[in-house]
Amino acid sequence: MNFCTKCGNPLESGLKFCTGCGSPVATALATSVPAQPADAPPAEKAEASLAGEWLTSPVSAAPPPQGEWEAIGTTISDAPSRPAEVAPAGEWQSMAPTPAQVPPVQRQAPPVSPSVAPEPQPAANWRPTPPVPAGVAPVQPTTSSKSSCLPALLIGLAVLALIAVLVVGGVVYVGYKVKQKATALLHQADAALPEGRQADVPSTPGHSDEKPGTPAANPPNGAAGLLEGFASMINGDQDQGDPVESVSERDHVEPCAPAPYPAQTGARIPLEQGTVITNSWGIVYQDVESTLSIRELTPASLELTSDTPKFKQDDGSEQGASSHQTTVCNDDVRSGIKYITENGTHVPPLVHGATRLRLSDKSFGEIKSTGKISMDYLSFQSYDDAEKPYHDVGVLTRVEPEDVPYPMIVNDERVTLPAIHLAGITDSPSPDPRPRKYRPNHSQSELYVIDDPLDPLVLLWRVKDPVYHDGKFRLEVVKIDFKVAKAVNTVEKQLTEQKRAVTYGIYFDFNKDTIKPESEKVLKEIVQAMTDNPDWKLTVEGHTDNIGGDAYNLDLSKRRAAAVKQALVDRYHIAPERLSTNGFGASRPIETNDTLEGRARNRRVELTRE
């Protein structure tokens, strides 16, 4: 008799499916096997069926691998006296090895009532359980938690990233605000000192550090520098510039060797004792006018004095008035290859190989012979109480084949001078002490020089680059005064011929009505004209450029006119009833206010006679 190995139901010969559970007979049958003697060898004590095939396994052999299906045969010696307990369908387990002295457990089919047949089960629901080795707990299926944890993990990372950004941003912002406050306190402390004794305020981008004529946007030093360095460290910026040896006014410098100075006879603008060059220095907030006077000519050198009024820095702070003395060797006037405009507290007053005011004879000869110049502009970067030099170098080429007329105020008259115009690209080669963000990059540069081999005076030097005062840096000559053998009183001449005189030679402190000492020459001309013409009555008019508000400029122009009258009355004893004053601010320009030189000529004093 055959039995179903799944439900134990007796099967008749020829059936293909079990009438009890519906399982295929080919894979679910077990035939009776004669019982083995108790003392039979272990290898013959158990039999198993896999996929309908009978396999004999030793008692001591390991159970079949998990995942392989094994049907357990039913061993029958005689007809069963009582039905053996049958495990529920789908939960067949591998039998543990039976000791030799213990007969194997016989699995018998349950009795089936002939009147009631078991309800057949669908074949599709038959899911046999893989056998599990004896003594080993079945492995329970687990549900993967990877998909449920991933969203939480991503949210956690996003929150951490946001917190990190907020922390870093907060630290940088606090450092920036602390730096601003520290810089403001340093400037307040400097302003509290007596004028002329200002402390060396650490220079910040845009500061000139008492160095008129410099294009540099100086990086910060001192407390402000430490704060910016801290911010740079947070931002990953460790660029501190190239190592360059510091120099200062304390360094020992070999004095100039005796050498002849070029003859000035016949020069268009003689650079000799008493000549005063007024430069207008273009920065962010205003035009700064400084004067460079030739103090003395010696057998070895040209001695200069530079005076600069108080002015407003690029960061809004005020820079105190300054005066510095510098020296140019006569030998460098002939053969120097560098050009320098800068002066300052710690800038060396003598730099060998460099010229001021004018190009050397050698450089000017290069222009005349080739139409080009190898420009080497020398400047300095402030570092505490010393300076570090750097260069802007490049080849400048003549733009126009002929001289161009250059407007100029010479001896208080508006004239034009013949000039050579050159332009090109300059760069800052290494080593450069400035961090890279403060270095110009492939800058457009421009040069105007008087076409005069006796004195090739530089009229304009400009480097257009954002790091130099937001691209506004230019150093331009706007007025020249020099001694002449037979001076003509231009004020009296204009008043006689036109009843109006325009004078540019009365100088005031920046944004003030204080008359500077350089104004004495023109004041004396006015006094002489009124003395020669005792019946004249004059009106003094003040005019300004358009930098600043209209109301402020109007008030400033009126105060300056009143200051001129006061000087004529108090110092030269002109009767006050012969003078009246008025001011017009920027309302009556005589040239455009869009250029530095135009603004310089709009800052003037005019006299009219009744």
Give the pLDDT confidence of 214-255 residue by residue, as tens digits.
665 544 444 445 455 555 555 555 667 899 999 999 999 999
Q: Are 54 and 104 contained in the same domain?
A: yes
Give the pLDDT confidence of 3-44 residue by residue, as tens digits.
777 777 777 777 777 777 777 765 444 444 444 444 444 444
Q: Are 2 and 45 contained in the same domain?
A: yes
Is there a domain that residue 142 lies in?
Answer: no
Give pLDDT, residue 90.
41
Q: Are 252 and 377 contained in the same domain?
A: yes
Among the candidates 82, 102, 136, a domain finishes at 136
Q: Are 494 and 477 contained in the same domain?
A: no
Q: 68 pLDDT band (50/70/90 cuts)? A: very low
Q: 392 pLDDT band (50/70/90 cuts)? A: very high
Contact 400, 377 (CB under 8 A): no
Of 554, 556, 541, 553, residue with least CA distance to 503:
541
Q: Are 399 and 500 contained in the same domain?
A: no
Q: What is the DSSP letter of 56?
A: E
Task: Cite the DSSP H helix spans in 533-605.
Answer: 550-572, 596-602
Q: What CATH number corresponds to the domain at position 557? A: 3.30.1330.60
Q: Are 386 and 285 contained in the same domain?
A: yes
Chain-centroid distance, C-alpha 458? 33
Q: Are 437 and 569 contained in the same domain?
A: no
Give the pLDDT confidence of 521-539 residue by residue, as tens digits.
899 999 999 999 999 999 9
Global pTM reads 0.62
Average pLDDT across the chain, whole number = 77
Give pLDDT, residue 476.
93
Among the candidates 481, 510, 538, a domain finishes at 481
Which range marks the domain in which residue 440 is found? 222-481
Q: Are 350 and 472 contained in the same domain?
A: yes
Q: Are 508 and 476 contained in the same domain?
A: no
Is there a domain that residue 176 lies in?
Answer: no
Give pLDDT, residue 165.
81
DSSP string, 145-185: -HHHHHHHHHHHHHHHHHHHHHHHHHHHHHHHHHHHHHHHH
Give pLDDT, residue 523.
95
pLDDT at 549 over 80: yes
Among the candidates 481, 513, 538, a domain finishes at 481
Token pair listed for 270: 């003689």
Most confident of 206-210, 379-383, 506-510: 379-383
Give the pLDDT confidence of 127-145 residue by residue, as tens digits.
444 554 555 455 454 454 5
Of 289, 268, 587, residue with least CA distance to 457:
268
Give pLDDT, residue 466.
86
Cis peptide before 389 (omega within 30 of 0): no
Cis peptide before 431 (omega within 30 of 0): yes
Is there a domain that residue 194 lies in?
Answer: no
Is there a domain that residue 169 lies in?
Answer: no
pLDDT at 302 over 80: yes
β-sheet bridge partners, residue 418: 405
Q: Are 295 and 402 contained in the same domain?
A: yes
Q: Are 473 and 548 contained in the same domain?
A: no
Is there a domain that residue 185 lies in?
Answer: no
Q: How far apart are CA 204 and CA 217, in angstroms?
A: 7
Share of the chain above pLDDT 70, in %: 68
Is there a domain that residue 266 lies in?
Answer: yes
If one counts the domains in the chain, the total is 3
Q: Are 118 and 58 contained in the same domain?
A: yes
pLDDT at 382 over 70: yes
